[in-house]
Amino acid sequence: MSTLAREVAIVGVGYSELSRTGEPNPNALALAAAKDALSDAGLTSADVDGIFEYKFGPESPGAQDMARLLGVPDLAAFADIFPSGPSGVAGALAGVMAVASGACETALVFRCLTRAAGHQGGVASGPETVSGRDQFLTPYGYLGGILVLLGLKKQRWMAEYGRPEDDFGRIAVNARRWSALNPRAVMRDELTMDDYLSSRMVADPLRVLDCDYPVNGAVATLITTAERAADLRQRPVLVDAMAYATGRGADWIFDCDFLYGGAIDCANRLWQRSSVSVADIDVAQVYDGFTPVTVSWIEALGACGKGEFGDWVGDGSRLGPGGDFPLNTAGGQLAEGRLHGIGFLNEAVLQLRGQCGDRQVPDAQVAVVTSGVYPQCGAMVLTGA
């Protein structure tokens, strides 16, 4: 039994075309994904009374923009969630809460990203003088850029637990095993450990193959009550539990736990609320904006202990097709493309509906989805109806 006030189900998933080139209009991308989700559920824009989206800025239309694009008559609940949420799943978490509380009946949530809008790694020149907290960061090359931060996180994990880079390579190699089975994925070529270890450094020891792959694209999800879901087109997928966490300190740099941030608190809260446990997971969709984030989430979820990922993952086969911990079965952001959270949620739904074709995990009934990093963590447990 869910701890939500009303039982909530995910009833539709949608995608735009994913691309690496050109400058597609964000409105067109988001609208295509939203229409695809509505068609998947067998609903129309008149059925939507809540819209939630996560954005950095101009890469995405807002909730009210989407209402106009779709011709939604009126919104009973809506929000544009800016970068302080747990990545794209922030919109989905808000949508679940809105439906569970009765604030709306059917929520559309989406995430749109374009390469032209930026928000990708780059090179910046540092200031000549610094003060305040910056005096403790600038000597390490940190000017607000996440690449340096994740390089430091990777270095810290290897140093603290005495582990090699190969552990992170297992995540990258696994992504390609799954993406090869996903026609939508933009990176489908095989990747070997040698390929990973010879890839260029972007912020030593963070390699380019530790990082997600930017694309132009949008994803959308439809959320409604379990009662209503029973009459719709697709087999409902139920939201068993959800959780947020910031971790003590609630800061990207000076959080009290530099390796895990809020992930452990989020996972603990999730399992306390869930009707299942980590042992029941059939498929895991774990945030992989950077491989060190994925490693920390897997440990935080309790699949293995802190610092034990390397021994637990072994040669990596347990993460891939036929393994006992199928991870990021669409290829994740490392290979399907950077869809920033909701891509993981949609893939979990498709797996629990048994609609993933060659990459289908047999008899998948329980999925965990995690999103974000440091003080911006969120997660869900989903179950088949």
pLDDT given for residue 106 in this prediction: 98
- What percentage of the chain carries pLDDT values higher than 70? 97
Question: Which of 229, 300, 245 has the alpha carbon at shortest distance from 89?
Answer: 245
205: preceding bond cis by omega (within 30 degrees): yes
Structure tokens at 67: 């209402």
Question: Which of 69, 33, 21 has the alpha carbon at shortest distance from 346?
Answer: 33
Distances (CA, A) of 313 to 10, 99, 263, 286, 295: 31, 38, 19, 15, 10
3-state DSSP assignment of residue 350 = helix
CA atoms of 228 and 2, how far apart (whole Å): 16
DSSP letter, residue 209 = G
- The answer on pLDDT for 108 being more than 80 is yes
Give the pLDDT band of residue 306 (cuts 50, 70, 90). very high
Q: 238 and 99 in contact (C-beta within 8 Å)?
A: no
Domain 1-115+215-234: give its CATH architecture: 3-Layer(aba) Sandwich (3.40)
pLDDT given for residue 279 in this prediction: 97
CA atoms of 285 and 10, how far apart (whole Å): 16
CA atoms of 264 and 296, how far apart (whole Å): 9
Question: Which of 266, 334, 255, 254 has the alpha carbon at shortest distance from 294?
Answer: 334
CA atoms of 373 and 295, how far apart (whole Å): 11
pLDDT given for residue 141 in this prediction: 73
CA atoms of 112 and 103, how far apart (whole Å): 24
Q: pLDDT tens-digit profile of 327-338?
A: 999 999 999 999
Q: What are the residues facing 285 on neighbouring strands? A: 369
- The answer on pLDDT for 180 being more than 70 is yes
Start-end of CATH 3.40.47.10 domains in the chain:
1-115+215-234, 145-213+237-384
Structure tokens at 227: 């009662």
CA atoms of 54 and 71, how far apart (whole Å): 20
Structure tokens at 305: 């202990």
pLDDT average, residue stretch 200-207: 95
Q: Which CATH class is domain 145-213+237-384?
A: alpha beta
3-state DSSP assignment of residue 110 = strand
Q: Identify the residue with better confidence: 140 or 32.
A: 32
Q: pLDDT tens-digit profile of 234-277?
A: 999 999 999 999 999 888 888 889 999 999 999 999 999 999 99
Q: What is the pTM of this model?
A: 0.95
CA atoms of 292 and 237, how far apart (whole Å): 29
Helix (H) or strand (E) holding 379: strand 376-384
Q: What are the residues facing 206 on neighbouring strands? A: 203
pLDDT given for residue 123 in this prediction: 61
pLDDT given for residue 117 in this prediction: 79
Question: Which of 284, 308, 306 has the alpha carbon at shortest distance from 370?
Answer: 284
List phi, psi (to 5°) of 319.
-85, -20
Question: Which of 101, 350, 352 has the alpha carbon at shortest distance from 242?
Answer: 101
